[in-house]
Structure 1
Amino acid sequence: MSSTKFILGLFEDPDEMMDGIHKLQQNSIPIYDVYTPMPIHGIEAKLGIKDSRLGYAAFMFGTLGGTVIFSIIYYALVHDWPINIGGKNAFAIPDFVPITFEWTVLYTAFGIVGTFFFATHLFPGRTPRVMDLRATDDRFVIAIDAKGNTPHEDITNLLKEAGAVEVKHNDRKYVSYE
């Protein structure tokens, strides 16, 4: 049994990489992930990646922030210590709007950053995990899980036909920077 965990196809050109993705999908070979040094438009749709749900999280954090500060202000200025300023009502909603807005934005920003770090495992101080270090420089990498039923030679041949400059068989999941 082979100790290969991933088969990596390295490409110099993004169009050739997209062709490689197409050929692999035609032959029903599942793609683990694609690593590129720059954004490539349309690759999410081609790989079948769903839209992010961070927008829903942002809405929930914003709602939470607005509710929390509105409740604090209401309790402090209406129930705990009502003050008559210039004959105004103690529950003057227009006075609550600026700070409520600011706290909504603050909760949303911090909540989204925390949710993003949690969802992507990109915590500060964590060593980046990369399949091939050249993917951050000038290569486009298609990673294929080698545990599938397709023989490794067939996958290698498909990647070479699509224009892969190099095909590597990794026995480790990630390459470290050390």
Structure 2
Amino acid sequence: MSKTKIILGCFDDPDDMMQGITNLQKNSIPIYDVYTPMPIHGIEAKMGVKDSRLGYAAFCFGCLGLTVITSIVYYTLVGDWPQNIGGKPSFAMPDFIPFMFEWTILFTAFGMTFTFFAATHLFPGRAPRVMDLRATDDRFIIAVDAKGNIPHDDITNLLKDAGAVEVKHNERKYVSYE
């Protein structure tokens, strides 16, 4: 059994890379991931990536911020220290709309930052993990999981037929910048 874990197909042209994805999918070869130095229109649909649920998380964080500031203002002005200022009610909503808006935005911003770091495993201080260092510069990379039953030569030939400039067999999953 081979020790190869990942087969990388390096492409110069995004159209060739898209053809490589098509070739692999026609032959039912699972693609681990695709790395590009720039966004490519339509690659999410071709790879079958689901829509993000980050909008739901943002809404929940906004609701949490609104609830927290509403609770603080209500407790402070009605429960803990009620005051009669000009005969107005203790909890006049129009006076607190700016506070509520700002806290909603604050909780949403910080919550989404932490959610992004948790979802992508990009915590501060963690060394970045990339398949090929050129993927952030000028190459388009298709990473194929090589642990399946498909012969490695077939995968290499499919990538070469699509226009791969280089095909590498990695024993490790990631290359570190260190």
| Alignment TM-score, normalising by the size of structure 2 | 0.98
Q: What letter matches 1:120 in structure 2?
A: T
Alpha-carbon distance, 1:41 to partner: 1.0
Q: What letter matches 1:55 in structure 2?
A: G
Correspondence for 1:176 = 176
Correspondence for 1:68 = 68
Distance 1:40 1:126 in 2: 27
Distance 2:93 2:126 in 1: 45
| 1:172 aligned counterpart, secondary structure | coil
- Note the alpha carbon deviations across 1:125-148, whole angstroms, 9 max, x for none: 111000000001000000000001
Alpha-carbon distance, 1:124 to partner: 1.1
Alpha-carbon distance, 1:103 to partner: 0.5
Q: How does 1:125-136 map to 2 (within 5 A)?
A: 125-136=125-136
| Aligned: 1:111 with 2:75 | no
Correspondence for 1:36 = 36
Distance 2:119 2:137 in 1: 25
Alpha-carbon distance, 1:46 to partner: 0.4
The answer for unaligned runs of 5 or more in structure 1 is none
Runs of 4+, deviation exceeding 6 Å: none
Q: What letter matches 2:103 in structure 1?
A: W
Q: How does 1:58-97 map to 2 (within 5 A)?
A: 58-97=58-97
Correspondence for 1:140 = 140
Correspondence for 1:9 = 9
The answer for unaligned runs of 5 or more in structure 2 is none
**Bigger Cα displacement from structure 2, 80-89 vs 22-31:** 80-89
Alpha-carbon distance, 1:88 to partner: 1.0
Distance 1:98 1:68 in 2: 14
Q: What letter matches 1:63 in structure 2?
A: C
Alpha-carbon distance, 1:64 to partner: 0.6
What's the % identity of the aligned pairs?
79
Correspondence for 1:150 = 150
| 1:164 aligned counterpart, secondary structure | coil
Q: What letter matches 2:47 in structure 1?
A: L
| 2:176 aligned counterpart, secondary structure | coil
**Bigger Cα displacement from structure 2, 80-89 vs 30-39:** 80-89
Count of equivalent residues = 178
